[in-house]
A and B are shown apart, each in its own frame.
Chain A
Amino acid sequence: MLKITGYADRVSAMPGDAIRFMINCEYPHYQASVVRVVQGDTAPEAPPVKLVPVPSAIDGRHPGRPQVIHAGSFARIDGDIFAGSRSFSLQAMIMPTTPLKGRQAIISKWDETAGRGIAMVVADDGSVGIEISDGKTSKALSLGKPMLAKHWYFAAVTYDAASGEASVHQEPQHQFPTIDDSGSASAVLPADIAWENSAPLLFAASWGGEDAGRSVGRALYNGKIDRPRISNASLLLTDLQVLRGDRWPERLAGTLVGAWDFSRDIPGIRIDDVSGRERHGVIINMPTRGVTGHNFTGEDGLCWKNCPEQWSAIHFHDDDIYDAGWQADFALTIPEGMKSGIYAVRIEAEGEEQFVTFVVRPARGKPTSKLAFLFPLATYMAYANEHFGTNDGLVELHLNRALVLHPHQQFLNEHREYGHSLYDLHSDGSGVYYSSRLRPVLNLRPKVEANHGAGPSHLWLFNADTHITSWLENFDQDYDVITDEDLHQEGYGLLSGYRTVVTATHPEYYSKEMWDGVQRFTHSGGRLIYLGGNGFYWRIAYHATQPGIIEVRRAEGGSRAWEPPTGEYYHSFTGEYGGLWRRQGNRSPNHLVGVGFTAQGFDQSSPYRRAPGADDPRAAFIMEGVDDEILGDFGLTGGGAAGMELDRHDVSIGSPPHSLVVASSGHHTEAHVFVVEDMLFNFMGATGDVCDKVRADLVFFETPNGGAVFSVGSIAYSGSLPWNNFDNNISRLTLNVLRRFMDPTPFPMPNA
């Protein structure tokens, strides 16, 4: 099991920037060094691994120390809420998603260390309960009727300090004839229990104290909470019912000490108290906002911006994680003159090796090459710490081969606190909408293998992308590395100084700013080489104030790992509609790069065959010196250049009418299946062995002002570049494109 993990506070840095590195190391010491990552594939069929040592100030021996992650989201309100009263009422609308998981705090002021406080909980028996403790004697009462998962309930508890009377109330929003889950219970507990304590008031957790500056939640709750209210008096059920709404009579206002409206500041991290007492708070570990509340109708619009009162809920998860919050172990200031490129800090101890990957980009507005490699950090974040191999057994039917797990996946399966990818489900079965890079991302490193990339290399994303960087360096092509997070922040300005931009193998996740930046580049004379498959596919959003976190809402359709419920199609970070770019006006991948996602399969790749477009004089430069009919019947990713995820040229979806199909693949394996977004009804004959839409098209077209786009439409493509020591028809063809694209001579638009 891994004993070294780490992350950095930023992935992209320019000369003069400092990057802080946070390392968890269970060994007493480790060696740190910096390498420039050129080729990270360890397969014997690949060129030798090339990690170039770069002397730096952080080189040397460092003391190791364990650092842990406290996952689980909750909300925190500081200050004295109860004003000295030991009587109270706690209430909320709740939608528990794992009611039988064990004790979960819904509203608490409960210090776990002292065992003292008050809480409304989902009790061990799955029903609403109250807990009160003075630190010596703990009293608890629950209804004893388990709630149904994913159903809304009115939940309330009260305690009257004068009489000792306590009550619990649990009322389902919908009743079913065979389900007995409604009622109230009461008991007389000791009077005047001295439960007061210094813990903050929390929603969705109890207080586990602070650890190295981080708030730690215990008794973590899974599910939604809507309209929590607190009174410093024991209220009757009829009054509790009145407080469910958004307005209340003056007679209840005097004892109402907090009423929170989660529909305010949905894009932010604040929770607002609307009781007038100003007991505002913050969310910790990014629970999901912009989710439907108990009163969502579906008839008043589907966006939280239009009718926010129906989105006054937060969905908390016991495995949410935003910023691991580790202590920094060292910092690296990027020296002036450090070559732009992909780097990693290598941590070594007792035979174990770990990497923390980062990018050195050029100073703003000062490219050091005419070529940029666009590092797809957003997509790496989308896949960060994916659990494909350990969550769903049907993964083997995706792969059509045995499931091979790697040490980091074994670790992540057992260390769920490291958080999930946008492909995973939370522990309660809901889809993961957010992914952060402020935690160790164990699949963003050289030498790592993955489930989805086929043999012999078995690479996916970052490490597969080093086939591209090693290919560029093999031909002595200088290049800058820039990240798409930079592109999101700076837009077209980041690209404007480059003549050509090369993508990675799978640039799948794009914000509007990123998409617009690429399109403006290709329309301003820039040249784009899209060396991958299934790119520019999902729309994502970045948070306005919290760095290093992205959001996806897989609305409507598409090839997707989960489906958001109706009403959760709009990003909470921005209010933008989520889903496929092809459903967002004229923004399909085909519009941008001439091809769009059409099929996927992960067992074996296929070659391309020359297409009629190869004979067009406009494409002559592409095929110069390449006489073969069959292209790429070899490769490190499935033994062919076309495989894994494939894109199709299709004018009806937006491919420019003047785009040329230079080559197309075909005869894929049955495991390569046609995408669902192109299948209105499911039908037979949609697999690669019989369906001619299961193919990759290699496409070229000219863009305004002398620019051009070349797209390969296949994730496996770059795995063919290094084959036979970079001497093969795919490498030759791609080099032809690169050299012409680096030539400033404008591409003329073809005549009508």
Chain B
Amino acid sequence: MAREELDRLIQGRNLGELVTEFRAKTTGQHSPALQRLINRIRSEPMTGKLALLCTRPHEEWRLVQMNGRGKPMTLLDGVFHDLNDAEWAIFKLRMKRHFDIDLND
């Protein structure tokens, strides 16, 4: 089921190429298939959503999971010093969460 959804999203594009595209440029205009894919995995509700907490302005971000309106967030393992690295870590976790796909660096 998850695989079917992934196929529908990327419509024949090579997943490896899309992953490479995201790793190279996490923000801004993406190819249509990559944009569909990330729109899907970013549509997580606030409860359970992966996000970042800025712990030192412009220097350090901590991976967190949101637990819904008014509820304290959960601090997860993962401290980043570059927002692109943080985007990439969230992308990998979501590919696992939504499609059971393991991605390596």
Question: Which residues on A are within 8 Å of B, measured CB to CB?
Answer: 42-44, 387, 389-394, 396-397, 400-407, 410, 413-414, 416, 427, 447, 449, 454-456, 603-604, 669-670, 689
Q: Which residues of A contact B76 (CB under 8 A)?
A: none
- With A391-B69, A403-B52, A669-B28 given, is the CB distance from A397 to B39 under 8 Å? yes
B45 near A393 (CB under 8 angstroms)? yes
Find out whether the CB atom of B49 lies under 8 angstroms from the CB atom of A404: no
Q: Is B52 within 8 A of A669, CB to CB?
A: no
CA distance A447 to B58 in the complex (A): 11
10 residue pairs, one from A and one from B, having the closest CB atoms:
A604-B28, A403-B51, A393-B46, A393-B45, A396-B42, A669-B29, A404-B52, A401-B27, A42-B57, A406-B54
Residues B42 and A413 in contact, CB atoms below 8 Å apart: no
A403 and B49 alpha carbons, distance in the complex (Å) = 9
- A722 vs B37: C-alpha distance when bound (angstroms): 36
Judge whether B35 and A391 touch: CB under 8 Å: no
Asked if A396 contacts B49 (CB within 8 A), the reply is yes
Complex contacts, A413 vs chain B, CB 8 Å? 69-73
Shortest CB distance B91–A (Å): 9
CB interface residues, B 36-64, toward A, < 8 Å:
39, 42-47, 49-54, 57-58, 61, 64
Q: Are A604 and B27 in touch, CB under 8 angstroms?
A: yes
Alpha-carbon distance between A695 and B46 when the two chains are bound, in angstroms: 31
Quick one: closest A residue to B58, CB to CB? A43
Q: Assess whether A410 is in contact with B73, with CB atoms less than 8 Å apart.
A: yes
Known contacts A603-B28, A604-B29; A402/B83 CB under 8 A: yes
Chain B interface (Cβ < 8 Å from any Cβ of A): 26-30, 35, 39, 42-47, 49-54, 57-58, 61, 64, 66, 69-73, 83, 86-87, 90
> Which listed residue, A404, A604, A689, touches B83 by the CB 8 Å rule?
A404
* B72 and A414 contact, CB distance less than 8 A: yes
A397 to B44, CA, bound (A): 10
- The 18 listed contacts between A and B (C-beta, < 8 Å) are A393-B47, A393-B66, A396-B42, A396-B43, A396-B44, A397-B42, A401-B26, A402-B51, A402-B86, A403-B51, A405-B51, A406-B54, A407-B53, A410-B73, A413-B71, A427-B70, A449-B57, A604-B28
Residues of A within 8 A of B30 (CB): 670
- A403–B27 alpha-carbon span in the complex (Å): 12
A449 and B43 in contact (CB under 8 A), knowing A405-B64, A669-B29? Answer: no
Most buried by B among A42, A387, A389, A405: A405
**Candidate in B39, B45, B57, B61 with the most chain A CB atoms within 10 angstroms:** B57
Complex CA distance for A389 and B50, rounded to whole angstroms: 12
Q: Which residues of B contact A670 (CB under 8 A)?
A: 29-30, 35
Chain A neighbourhood of B83, CB < 8 A:
402, 404, 455
What residues on A are CB-neighbors of B28 within 8 Å? 400, 603-604, 669
Known: A394-B43, A455-B27, A670-B29. Is A42-B69 also a contact (CB below 8 A)? no
Report how far A193 CA is from B81 CA in the complex, Å: 66
Q: Nearest-CB distance from A465 to chain B (Å)?
A: 18
B33 to chain A, nearest CB (A): 12
CB B28 to nearest CB in A, in angstroms, measures 4
CA distance A391 to B39 in the complex (A): 18
In whole angstroms, how far apart are the Cα atoms of A117 and B58 in the complex?
Answer: 55
Residues of B within 8 A of A389 (CB): 51
Please tell me if the beta carbons of A402 and B87 are within 8 angstroms of each other in the complex.
Answer: yes
Query: Given the known A-B contacts A44-B58, A670-B29, are A405 and B73 also in contact in the complex, defined by CB atoms under 8 Å?
Result: yes
Say yes or no: B58 contacts A456, CB within 8 Å: yes
Residues of A within 8 A of B49 (CB): 393, 396, 403
